């Protein structure tokens, strides 16, 4: 069983080109390309409505949004975060001269284990930076209670969590600030892009200033960055919004098909939908317990690749295992047993709105036959 062309872990959704051309024509006519343009303003407004959030500030990418979110709240010293994420999470701390302190994750969601946060707090801790990894919500209640007790800020890296809600509330409203990524590989894409979500107008203004070099009325109030989203990106976002419900529905159908096909395979497990949560099916991670499954995750990865199925080991290695971070005390081997196991077992299977049923069946059969 080998597919004709390589099946990648994801493929961006692209709307019909002629619909995009209409936006491009308007941009060409107006000659307004960036700096809070018409489409930028429209997208901020429409996203607030779609996502159920109060204020949103668009960015050129999610990493700049993270870096600016930390600057917005003047975070410094040490920040508690997860090692099980894309490296941009911890990099945003490094860029702000903040020391990341890694805390283990829980096996049910792969998110930071809220019960282990308190032990990592020191007099230098100023914030918690959890990640709603693969779009699964963190235990916000517990995290917020700890933050309140110790006077810490909470910034959520929600790069994977576009459109996810819990008990009919957007999880982007968790914490003080949340960030999104609109990268090509995400559920909702603007080629590259990102955003910060905040709850009051004053903070929104500060973020908008910081993403525009720190300018306020001709004065510069802080060493801000150029984080602005341009009009081509924003118009792509407006167009994506027209299709987003169908995109998420197709992803759900694929996730359901995987779950039906992969349930009850010894040594292979996955996360089911969480009660009360509206998921976005941004990734489909499975765990391979080599002793029970018969081959290791890496052997399975190679086997699938031979059949042209290119999964991804998100997130392997852990951020704390990269050279840049492995010298930190919190990164030492043995300190985060759950994360250290999951990073060796995880494999993300292809999932994207156009993925054909027959391909999903091929993948399921490959996983069934060892």
Residues engaged in binding ligand T4K (CB under 6 A)? 8-12, 61-63, 85-86, 88-89, 131, 157, 159-160, 181, 183-185, 194, 310, 314
Q: How far is the CB of 101 from ligand T4K (least distance, A)?
A: 18
Q: How far is the CB of 182 from ligand T4K (least distance, A)?
A: 7
Q: How far is the CB of 143 from ligand T4K (least distance, A)?
A: 16
Judge whether 211 and 225 are in contact, CB under 8 Å.
yes
Q: How far is the CB of 318 from ligand T4K (least distance, A)?
A: 13
Q: What residue number has its CB nearest to ligand T4K?
A: 62
Q: Based on CB atoms, which residue is closest to ligand T4K, 12 or 267?
A: 12
Task: Name the residue among 145, 178, 149 with its Cα closest to residue 164.
Answer: 178
Judge whether 130 and 82 are in contact, CB under 8 Å.
yes
Judge whether 270 and 284 are in contact, CB under 8 Å.
yes
Q: Based on CB atoms, which residue is closest to ligand T4K, 34 or 289?
A: 34
Judge whether 298 and 290 are in contact, CB under 8 Å.
no
SS3 for 116-182, per residue? HCHHHCCCCEEEEECECHHHCCCCHHHHHHHHHHHCCEEEEECCCCCCCEECCEEHHHCCCEEEEEC
Q: How many helices (H) and strands (E) does the chain have?
A: 11, 17
Q: How far is the CB of 312 from ligand T4K (least distance, A)?
A: 6
Q: Based on CB atoms, which residue is closest to ligand T4K, 112 or 131?
A: 131
Burial 135-167 (b: 16+ CB within 10 A, else e): bbbbbbeebbebbeeeebbbbbbbbbbbbbbbe
Q: Based on CB atoms, which residue is closest to ligand T4K, 287 or 293?
A: 287
Distance from C-alpha of 78 to C-alpha of 87, rounded to nearest angstrom: 17
Q: Based on CB atoms, which residue is closest to ligand T4K, 153 or 312?
A: 312
Q: Based on CB atoms, which residue is closest to ligand T4K, 53 or 65?
A: 65
Distance from C-alpha of 225 to C-alpha of 68, rounded to nearest angstrom: 8
Q: How far is the CB of 104 from ligand T4K (least distance, A)?
A: 17
Q: How far is the CB of 132 from ligand T4K (least distance, A)?
A: 8
Q: Based on CB atoms, which residue is closest to ligand T4K, 88 or 360?
A: 88
- Write the DSSP symbol of residue 212: B
């Amino acid at each position: 069983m080998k597919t004709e062309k390589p099946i990648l872990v994801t493929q961006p959704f692209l709307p019909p080109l002629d619909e995009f051309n209409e936006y491009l024509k308007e941009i060409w006519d107006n000659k307004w390309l960036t700096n809070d343009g018409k489409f930028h303003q429209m997208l901020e407004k429409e996203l607030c409505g779609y996502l159920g959030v109060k204020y949103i500030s668009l960015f050129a990418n999610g990493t700049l949004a993270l870096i600016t979110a930390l600057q917005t709240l003047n975070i410094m010293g040490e920040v508690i975060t997860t090692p099980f994420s894309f490296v941009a999470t911890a990099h945003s701390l490094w860029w702000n001269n903040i020391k990341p302190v890694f805390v283990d994750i829980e096996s049910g969601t792969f998110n930071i284990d809220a019960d282990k946060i308190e032990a990592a707090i020191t007099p230098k801790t100023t914030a918690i930076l959890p990640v709603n990894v693969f779009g699964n919500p963190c235990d916000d209640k517990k995290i917020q209670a700890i933050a309140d007790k110790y006077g810490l800020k909470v910034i959520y890296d929600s790069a994977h969590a576009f459109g996810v809600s819990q008990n009919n509330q957007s999880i982007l409203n968790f914490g003080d600030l949340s960030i999104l990524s609109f990268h090509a590989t995400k559920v909702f894409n603007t080629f590259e892009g990102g955003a910060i979500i905040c709850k009051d107008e004053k903070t929104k203004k500060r973020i908008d200033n910081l993403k525009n070099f720190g300018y306020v009325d001709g004065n510069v109030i802080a060493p801000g960055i150029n984080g602005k989203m341009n009009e081509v990106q924003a118009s792509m976002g407006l167009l994506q919004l027209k299709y987003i419900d169908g995109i998420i529905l197709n992803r759900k159908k694929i996730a359901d098909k995987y779950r039906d096909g992969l349930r009850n395979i010894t040594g292979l497990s996955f996360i089911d939908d969480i009660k009360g949560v509206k998921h976005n099916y941004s990734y489909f991670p499975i765990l391979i317990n080599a002793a029970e499954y018969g081959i290791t995750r890496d052997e399975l990865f190679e086997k699938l690749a031979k059949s042209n199925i290119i999964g991804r080991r998100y997130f392997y290695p852990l951020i704390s295992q990269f050279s840049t971070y492995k010298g930190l005390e919190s990164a030492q081997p043995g300190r985060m047993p759950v994360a250290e196991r999951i990073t060796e077992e995880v494999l993300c299977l292809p999932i994207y709105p156009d993925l054909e049923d027959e391909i999903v069946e091929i993948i399921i059969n490959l996983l069934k036959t060892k």
